[in-house]
Amino acid sequence: MQPWFIATETFTSRVGEAWIKYVSWSGLGQLVEVVSLDSILCPTVLPDIKNTYWPYIVNEDCMLHFFTDLDFLLKEIEEIRERNLLCVYRNPPRSPLPFRGAVDFEFLGYDLVDKEGGVSVLTNCGGFPEVFGNSELSSKGLLSSHARALQVQSELPRKHPGEPHAYCHVWAIFRAVAP
C-alpha cells in the first residue's frame, strides 16, 4: 500500500460560531474535532499547486493535493503551525500499519469521501441513518473499524443508487503525533 500525505486545516471548537453551527446541523455532538479529507470542512493548507509540486504529488484527478514525498511536504508546510499533517491510504485492502519515517503517525480511523467532490459521507452529507448511525463515529468523526468502513462503502450505493455521495473511497487516516 502506498501512503499519501496531506496537510489540512483543523476544524474544532476554536473556530467559534462555525463549529457551533456545524455540530448543531450535523447532530454529531460527540465530536471534539473533525479530522477528514473533506475538502470543505478540512481544506488543504496548500491550495495552490506550484510547478515544483509535480514530481511529488499524486497525479490523478481530484488528488493533486496529496503528496507522495513526506520530506518535501514537510518543507512546504514548516511555517504553518495550525494544521493536521495526515498520512492516508486510499481503499486499503486491510488495516494498514503506521508509516515509519521522519514523523510518527497515530491511527485515527476511516473516512469515506465521495469520489467526485471530496465530501465526507460521514461528516458532511447530513447522515445516512439506514446505513450507519452518528453514534458509530469517533470524537474525530471517523469509523474505527476497517470492516465497518468497507460495509458502509458497500451499502451506500445499494441503498442510495441515485445519490452521488454514495459512491466513495475508504480512507485510512493517520495523524502526525508531533508534526
Q: Number of folded domains in the chain?
A: 1
Q: Name the DSSP class of 86.
A: E
Per residue in 24-36, pLDDT tens?
999 999 999 999 9
Which structural domain, as residue segments, surrounds residue 22?
Answer: 4-176
Contact 129, 159 (CB under 8 A): no
Is residue 1 very low, low, confident or very high in pLDDT (cuts 50, 70, 90)?
A: confident
User: What is the structure's pLDDT at 116?
Assistant: 83
Let me know how long the chain is.
179
pTM of the complete model: 0.95
On whether the CB atoms of residues 7 and 44 are closer than 8 A, the answer is: yes
Query: How is residue 121 written as a grid cell?
Result: 459521507
**C-alpha radius of gyration, the chain, whole number:** 16
pLDDT at 43 (0 to 100): 96
3-state secondary structure of 1: coil
What's the DSSP call for residue 138? Answer: -
Using 50, 70 and 90 to split pLDDT, how confident is the model at 64?
confident
